[in-house]
Amino acid sequence: MKHRRILSVAICVLLIASFTIISFAASATFFTQTVYGYRCTGRGSISLSTATSTLNAETIPNQQHIPSNDCSASAWVTAYGSNGQYLGSEHVTGKTFAKATIEGRSPIKYIKCGFDFTGTHFDIFTLYNS
């Protein structure tokens, strides 16, 4: 009986700890905008030690668009710690998709994300970790 109680308490502690870890995350869709016949969506996300900035451009059905080989997508992310200290930055390019990721830097308090699609620059967005 005593072992069951200890096991139950241990399981409860693990569940509570897992909820705490999950709560250290944030994500946001910063924008969805049409550019040259593509629906561009910019997103950002943070976990405890990973930051991601993603730009995805999809063709809009029945709308004229430039060929995907003529497109250029760009995403960058910069991560900052709890005291505002710089943790790192990453920049990635592609045709219609770009995903920049910073991993292994902990703890991340907030990120700044930037996006470009075929000459159109989108604003710089900030996302705070919860």
CATH of the domain at 18: 2.60.40
pLDDT of residue 24: 61
Distance CA 63, CA 29 (A): 23
Mind listing the pLDDT tens digit for each residue in 48-66? Answer: 899 999 999 999 999 999 9
pLDDT of residue 130: 80
Distance CA 54, CA 68 (A): 17
3-state helix, strand, coil in the chain (%, to 5): 20, 50, 30
**Where in the sequence is the domain holding 84, given as residue range(s)?**
2-128
The total number of structural domains that make up the chain: 1
